[in-house]
Structures are given as structure tokens and as C-alpha cells.
Amino acid sequence: MDSLKFYIDGRWVDPASPHAIAVVNPATEEPFAQISLGSAQDVDKAARAAWRAFAGYAQTSVAARLSWLEKIVAGFRARLPELARAMTLEMGAPITFATERQATVALFHFEEAARVLAGFAFEERMGAGIVRHEPIGVCGLITPWNWPLNQVASKVAPALATGCTVVLKPSEIAPLSVMLLAEIIHEAGLPAGVFNLVNGDGPTVGEAIAAHPEIDMVSFTGSTGAGIRVAQLAAQTVKRVAQELGGKSANIILDDADLRTAVMTGVHACNTNGGQNCQSPTRMLVHRSRKDEAFDAARAAIASIRLGDPLDPATTMGPLVNQRQFDRVQSLIQSGLDEGATLVAGGPGRPADLNRGYYVRPTVFGDVTPAMRIAREEIFGPVLSILSYDTEDEAIAIANDTPFGLAGFVQSSDAARARKVANRIRAGRVYLNNAGFDRSLPFGGYKQSGNGREFGIFGFREYLEVKALVGYLS
């Protein structure tokens, strides 16, 4: 599965300065493939190709862009099992989850971009003129490892749909599924230079993209610290910056909710993808009078999780992505113990029956206070903190007591009450009563969780400039 070339100007090319690194299977801790790390020179080559291609691609018709998107969708569907398996090998997502969620949700973004494009009004009359929506230009896209294809598709699809050209840097930790997607995009027949891919690390390739003078916009998903660095570099050339950063989402279970169902559903949501999700509901807020019931329900939910070989269809949780992530999660689990939280389930160390792979025991802490590290820091692993509240106002205050604001969750038997609470949560997306994924609704954060929005028409608009034609009355 070695993939040592980059995709630039419609061709697979060698890097300017060859430097290969291993891609490690987190279930076995063994290398199974190699990729090349790029340089600023590779980014420059890709950016110049994208800049040359932009003038022509920006003028293509909606029908032409729809045709290319439809070909990408068809190619994606045909290779979906291959894409899912690549993600299982590179970042440990169980094969069933990788197929039904990781790959399928990524496909949704291309379908959604086509739907929005088909009905979008690029020109509209307003006052004494016309407002035009035009592609912003060359877009630098920097994506993470936890949802490798989903995060790429949520950026690439609207960029291509709006008439922009792209320089993409996927995560060097989980790059192989994206290399397969590049093959699909190539086979769709886009003009040379419209889509370009350079592998590499953040400090080298990511920073070169953020600073490049011929890149007009940068869209970044990752940690808040890295997002700040991207914004600083992009400011030097006054780029538009769209960022989806960290999260520490609260799940408020109101006192009228079906507690057992709400807790068990919340536990499973926190452990989805091994807890490696920016919007995971990692802070569960329950009424103090019912915390013991909540602890019992959480233990039952944890007991139903099956860890094991991610290629086994029966496995529901695989390993974390690498040693660094494993060590960080272990450190935070230990901090929960050291700071006096009650260990409800799980705990430090690997599961007893798994002696290799970056597996973590799904862990629940109770009696957590808002000042504890596990209540404040984004853990990015299968660790849930249960906090207690006495009043609805206190629950909302605890939910908002965070520098993050990506998502929130509210559970209540009274939909109107849940809505009122949701309105007071300072977050970009709030799920009521375990509502499912909706690809048409905007996704993005308040505060240090970022700026800009992805998905649907809101994500589409991120890649457009607005031009006023004043005085055109014909």
C-alpha cells in the first residue's frame, strides 16, 4: 500500500525532496505502508498549478461541475469497501463503522454539494444592481486523521462545486484513504490543476499552505493550538480562514428525561470512533438526586462495548490512532483519579485481553467537578465525565463554562423545554434528544472551537466571494 507520489497538475509526481515515512496500523503497532513527506517546494508547485487552473475552472458551467461531482460520487460508491478498509488499517476504525459511517458520511458531502449546486442562485437582483457569488480562488485544505475522508470531503466537495481549485494536505497519520479518493477524483476527469494533493506534516506543508501568497483561503480542521498558528500565517496575506477546532461538549440530561436511555445513549455517543471526535458529548450533566442511577446505566453501556480486531465485523471499538494519543489519554485518566473523581467504569491501562495495539479501556468518571482536567481539556479518547447539577440554570452555566463551543446535547421529555435550554448553550450545533446526523445543517463552533461553517449551503457559501454590480438595471 505504499503511496510515495503526490497528485499535482493532473499527474502523480515525485516529491521535490524524497522523504518517506511509515504508516502504522494502530491495532498491531506495525508499519504496513509508506508515504512521502512533502516540502514548501511541493506546496509551491501545487499552488501554482491550482492558480493556473482557476481562471478556466471558475468559468465552467454548473452543468459541467455537476457532471464531475456525479462521476466522483459514482467512483466513490464503487470503491467504498476499499476506502473503508483503508481507514480501518490506518486509524483503527472498526470495519463496520468505517463502512457504515466513516466512508458513507464522506460520500454524503459530495452528494450534498451537488444538491446545493443544482439549486444555487449565483446572481440575484438587489436594490439598484446585482449581487454575484463568485468562487474565492485557490483553497488550501488541511485535514485531520480522526475522520480522514469525512473531513476531506466536507471541504473538497463544496470547493469544487463552487468553482474553486484546491491544494489539499491530509493527515500524514491516516493518508491512504485520501490517496484512494485522489484516484477517484482523477478518474472523474477534472481539468488538470483543479485538485492537488501534497502529503506532509503540519509544521512544514501545513504552514506552507497557510502562508502561500497564491492561496486565497485556508480551511483547517484540527486542534485549537494549530488553528491559531494557521490563522497567524494566513493573516500575512489576508486570507479567508475557516476553522473547525476543538470541543468539550456538554450533554445536559434534564430531570424529566428517560434517564437510563439518555445515559446509555450518551455513553455510546462519547465512545463513537474510540472517542476521537471533536463534538463528542464528553461532559454528561445529570441531576444530583439521580447520579447513582446514572452511574449504573453508564456501567451497563460500557459493558456492551466490544473491543478487538477492527477488521472483525463484530468489533464496536478499535484502538486509538497512535502511541502519542494513547499516552495522552492515559495521562488524563490518571489525572481524574488523582483529582478525586469516582471511577465508575474502565480505568487506566489496556484491556486485559489485548496485549498489543493502542487500545484504551472505555472509562467513565463520576463526581467530576468543573475545575478538574478531565472536565476542561479535550481528551480525544473514550473518557466520559459525569457532573452533577441542582438547577437548570446551574446545568446551563456548567455547560457554557468552557473555552470551546462546538456542540451541545439536551435530553428532555418536553421538546419545548429542551429547545429553551438549547437556545442558551453557546455552541454552533445542539442535538435535541439524540437527534441524528443531518448533512444539510451547518456545523462549526463558537469561541475557541473555530469560525466559519461546513455542510450544506452554509459550507458552500464559505468558498464564495460576494460582488456587487451597482447600477445594472437592464
Position 1 scores a pLDDT of 82
The answer on 368 and 222 residing in a single domain is no
Q: Tell me the sheet residues that pair with 411.
A: 253
Q: Specify if 444 maps to a domain.
A: no
pLDDT tens, position by position, 155-200: 999 999 999 999 999 999 999 999 999 999 999 999 999 999 999 9
Which CATH number goes with the domain that contains 370? 3.40.309.10
Domain of residue 267 covers 250-439
In the predicted model, what is the mean pLDDT of residues 132-152? 98
The answer on 71 and 210 residing in a single domain is yes
The answer on 320 and 403 residing in a single domain is yes
The answer on 333 and 260 residing in a single domain is yes
- The chain-wide mean pLDDT, for the chain, equals 97
- Phi and psi angles of residue 470, each rounded to the nearest 5 degrees, phi first: -95, 130
Distance CA 121, CA 114 (A): 14
pLDDT tens, position by position, 438-466: 889 999 999 999 999 999 999 999 999 99
Closest C-alpha to 87, from 74, 78, 75, 97: 97
Is the confidence at residue 473, as pLDDT, over 80?
Answer: no
The answer on 198 and 50 residing in a single domain is yes
Q: Specify if 462 maps to a domain.
A: yes
Position 202 scores a pLDDT of 97
Q: Specify if 241 maps to a domain.
A: yes
The answer on 98 and 60 residing in a single domain is yes
For the chain, how big is the Rg over CA atoms in Å?
A: 23
The answer on 267 and 158 residing in a single domain is no
Is the confidence at residue 436, as pLDDT, over 90?
Answer: no
Q: Specify if 312 maps to a domain.
A: yes
Q: Specify if 269 maps to a domain.
A: yes
> Measuring CA to CA, how many Å separate 135 from each of 122, 237, 242?
10, 18, 15
Lowest mean pLDDT among 263-277, 379-393, 426-440: 426-440
Q: Specify if 215 maps to a domain.
A: yes
Which CATH number goes with the domain that contains 466? 3.40.605.10
pLDDT tens, position by position, 243-298: 999 999 999 999 999 999 999 999 999 999 999 999 999 999 999 999 999 999 99
Position 143 scores a pLDDT of 98
The answer on 234 and 283 residing in a single domain is no
The answer on 227 and 375 residing in a single domain is no
Q: Specify if 1 maps to a domain.
A: no
Is the confidence at residue 214, as pLDDT, over 90?
Answer: yes
Position 267 scores a pLDDT of 98
Distance CA 83, CA 152 (A): 13
pTM of the predicted model over 0.85: yes
**Which residue type is seen at 250?**
A
The answer on 456 and 433 residing in a single domain is no
Q: How many domains does the chain contain in total? A: 2
Residues with catalytic function = 244, 278
Confidence of residue 345 (pLDDT cuts 50, 70, 90): very high
289 CB contacts (<8 Å, ≥6 apart)?
255
Dihedral of the alpha carbons of 302, 316, 222, 184, in degrees to the nearest 10: -170
Distance CA 70, CA 57 (A): 17
The answer on 331 and 270 residing in a single domain is yes
The answer on 177 and 51 residing in a single domain is yes
Confidence of residue 77 (pLDDT cuts 50, 70, 90): very high
Q: Are 297 and 253 in contact (CB under 8 A)?
A: no
Q: Specify if 108 maps to a domain.
A: yes
